[in-house]
Structure 1
């Protein structure tokens, strides 16, 4: 029995196949803690999203603004024939319902000055803003003559002006629409739609003042987060947005004009010009105002660096780092004839896994570069010192330190790239494979 154990022990120590099987098995085992690390990253990222969402809800969510829109009610008279069983004859019942006509501006000019600032809760950060918005333009002549609505059914005395927005909570000044010589105060209306409605009081002498082109203007101060967008309801819509935010993401159905777009570390300026022909809806609606939010344009105000996303991308290369490091130790073992115990392989693998937990925890309190550098240096020192005790001397430990440092540097470069990440990664892996093939060419693989 002891002889069999001795043979097995000698086979494990001297057989190349046995050592490769052990290293392969340990690599599979180390995938378990690596998956736990990935789960931790996802959990922390989800927690960040949750906290940012809470911050934004209290300050004010994303803003989508539409308006002003003229709303004029009218009566619809319909007749229905009903059979009377007692008299055995039909009689006509007249039914009256109220519908609404909606008219958009001919010209719409929007200017917005967006002042952003970060809000923090514990280690989490969100970007919020206060926007000063000025809107002016003119309504067209409103004429029902080209419709089949009788003049006497139009309720001009109940005409109003509407504004629609996704964020009533963030409004910081009561909007007042200046319509010709009238100043119309606005009040919120109950709505279950995506866009909440703010409606003015009835417009005096609406029939007379809408008989010609009518100018309007209003100012609005509103708090929001994530994005600020507008609907291009004007026959000609011109918009200008200025902000101190340095990383805008222009969003929606229309992009700003390149000739007037400026982005710098001090902020950005962008302008849009949208014509009726550029969008797929008309200038007036009868009966129901549809949801036009798909035609919105504007800007997302985003935090450009997501530490958790970078940590997640780094962790995806974990199997590569662990596998190549263990392979380097295996090649050194085969070349130097120094025996490395499976337990020592396991300790080296766990040290490599610890890199990712260090990276996550430090990046929550510092920037990603510092976190990456501290985590990488810590693991490099630990493994180099440990390999010095295993391998004796300085030649092989320094080789391991250089190899691991190059690998961490290579991965850091990859995760900083976007367009060329796949290309650089593929070339790098090809070079690594070539180096391993070159280093292993003189190993005697017959020693089994």
Structure 2
């Protein structure tokens, strides 16, 4: 046979046909078996965690940006304020004697005794507002503080905690303030009803605990601050005791904290902020919260503080035993979006299971690429939620993002399977899931319980709807 005849025969026969992968036992048929499809869906779910982690990184970046902007706002207004005092600081000269090589050596050093008032009453009225910079806001306040108290007649006797000679002429009142740039008035004190006398800046060598540290860290330099005010006190006042009252206007942001500096401390706080959070070692005895603001009252008795009325230290005590009011923002959406992402693996699995069951029931194959597109739509939900929350707040943003994602995925799956009923069914599943997840985010205490119940119901439903599935695809049709 000639070469021309062979070419003619090939033209008549046409190009070589593709292998038939759809025949029984072929690779295509194997890949379409429910068992293999189930494994592929599981692998896709795990792979989609990669873009989910990228979204998480985006949330953390935006949250860090919000912190930086908040710091810029507080730098020009005043940061979280911690007020500790007033205390009466008295230096004591201590003589040390020791014998070295049969010779008596004498040295002297100065130690400090901090005396606390017998009674201390503090009234704080906070005028609050939310200050904005760009799209970020920060709750700030101006605190009108009123201090009244009494130092008892046993001050000299209390100095006996240190064996030495008190230098009463060098004694002074001292109070620490976390951020003195927030002071908006002269701090004047009236002693025994006399004329107002101004405090001076600085703590004259005294220290206080930095916010976030406790008494165990008192000797560590990194845990100490020296920002505050002081006022000299005369010898005769120390010997007989005295009463005092003072006023102070102080700017701050996000939180106001007070140490129970008195042997018995009474603290009353009120503000026009409807979302307070009460923190610290001591919580309020009574509180009233409504849409216009809150009012709270603390009473800390002498025994509850756990320390004596006089301490031998240059670090103001009780810096870690605070009464705190936190101006909680109604929605901390970065935390909520981040918490939403923690449920992403379960959410992806649940939706993929729902699509898989719809595929089995409808008899229309859903390609793995279509599963990927569905998963990416679920991940876009988090980006949409984050972007909208920065402008509209979390609740509205969540509703819009959930509705848009539900409509998109339900329409797509209904079109792929050729069944409007399948699309509606998936929309119901997504709607319930988004609704339950929103409730979980709002009630964090029940998150584990709700998550466990949802997981159990999901696996039970999957087992029920796939109980008659031929996973291997080996069953011959009748």
TM-score between both structures, scaled by the size of structure 2: 0.83
Tell whether the 8 Å contact from 2:41 to 2:352 is kept in structure 1 after alignment: yes
Q: Offset of 1:374 from its aligned partner?
A: 1.4
1:400 corresponds to 2:444: no
- In terms of mean alpha carbon deviation, does 174-183 or 128-137 score higher? 174-183
Gaps of 5+ in 1: 84-89
Tell whether the 8 Å contact from 2:364 to 2:417 is kept in structure 1 after alignment: yes
Counting matched residue pairs gives 437
User: What is the match of residue 110 of structure 1?
Assistant: 122
Q: Offset of 1:82 from its aligned partner?
A: 6.7
Tell whether the 8 Å contact from 2:59 to 2:334 is kept in structure 1 after alignment: yes
What SS does structure 2 have at the residue aligned with 1:410?
Answer: helix
State the distance in 1 between where 2:134 and 2:191 align. 47
Counterpart selection for 2:360 from 334, 347, 353: 334
What SS does structure 1 have at the residue aligned with 2:240?
Answer: coil
Q: Deviations over 1:312-342 (max 9, x none)?
A: 2222222222222222222232233222222
User: What is the match of residue 71 of structure 2?
Assistant: 53
User: What is the match of residue 133 of structure 1?
Assistant: 145
What SS does structure 2 have at the residue aligned with 1:420?
Answer: helix
User: What is the match of residue 316 of structure 1?
Assistant: 342
Q: Offset of 1:243 from its aligned partner?
A: 1.0
User: What is the match of residue 11 of structure 1?
Assistant: 29
Q: Offset of 1:91 from its aligned partner?
A: 6.2
1:68 corresponds to 2:86: yes
Q: Offset of 1:296 from its aligned partner?
A: 2.0
User: What is the match of residue 283 of structure 1?
Assistant: 309
Counterpart selection for 2:294 from 268, 271, 277: 268
State the distance in 2 between where 1:95 and 1:322 align. 75
User: What is the match of residue 225 of structure 2?
Assistant: 194
The aligned runs of 1:155-194 (5 Å cut-off) are: 155-180=167-192, 181=194, 183-189=196-202, 193-194=224-225
Q: Deviations over 1:25-45 (max 9, x none)?
A: 322222221221222222222
User: What is the match of residue 244 of structure 1?
Assistant: 272
Gaps of 5+ in 2: 1-16, 208-223
Q: Deviations over 1:45-78 (max 9, x none)?
A: 2222232233223321121212222233343344
1:389 corresponds to 2:420: no
User: What is the match of residue 254 of structure 2?
Assistant: 226
State the distance in 2 between where 1:74 and 1:327 align. 76
State the distance in 2 between where 1:217 and 1:262 align. 27
Counterpart selection for 2:263 from 231, 235, 244: 235
Q: Deviations over 1:108-154 (max 9, x none)?
A: 11111011111112222211111000001111125535766999954
What SS does structure 1 have at the residue aligned with 2:391?
Answer: coil
State the distance in 2 between where 1:109 and 1:18 align. 73
User: What is the match of residue 324 of structure 2?
Assistant: 298
State the distance in 2 between where 1:144 and 1:57 align. 42
State the distance in 1 between where 2:35 and 2:269 align. 67
Tell whether the 8 Å contact from 1:335 to 1:443 is kept in structure 2 after alignment: no
Change (3 A) 1:441 1:194: same
Counterpart selection for 1:216 from 244, 249, 254: 244
Tell whether the 8 Å contact from 1:63 to 1:166 is kept in structure 2 after alignment: yes
TM-score between both structures, scaled by the size of structure 1: 0.88
Q: Offset of 1:231 from its aligned partner?
A: 1.8
Change (3 A) 1:77 1:384: closer
Q: Offset of 1:219 from its aligned partner?
A: 0.3
Tell whether the 8 Å contact from 2:34 to 2:470 is kept in structure 1 after alignment: no
Change (3 A) 1:207 1:142: farther
